[in-house]
Structure 1
Amino acid sequence: MTTATITSKGQITIPADVRHALAVEAGDRVEFVQIEPGQYLFVAANRSVTELKGMFGKPRKRVSIDDMNSAIAARGASAR
């Protein structure tokens, strides 16, 4: 298991073996995806989004584009 320490400024150095495995280098972006409370997935954001396919399993139900647009519009209207 690879570990790292958080500095007093909240920074962390990603160990070399992890950087190599994720193919990230200085200036690349990474994302922290919450899987469940207290557990996160560390993902290199420089990869194709298609590599994320299947990461969270199959959706519970299908949602149409029209339904998505309606939900976005309703949420936007309520934020004003």
Structure 2
Amino acid sequence: MGGTGKPRKNPILGAAVLKALLQRRKGDDQTKAQGLYEGVLRDLDLTDEQVDKYLSEHAAEVEEAIRSHGRRGS
């Protein structure tokens, strides 16, 4: 596959960002999104425990990724 040569993003960072965002959801939205999160973990061959550990060790990096997400392409 002819990629763009762009380095792949850190998959565990992406999973941690997703989990942090999902934790902010309420009620039924959170329940529905849980299936998405579990699918992402499967696809990335990660466990929830790995993501939790990463979140606890890299909380500032995860928050920065969340804040900067909307600034892409600026």
**Greater fraction of residues in helix:** 2
TM-score (norm 2): 0.28
Which of 1 and 2 has greater Rg?
1
**Greater fraction of residues in strand:** 1
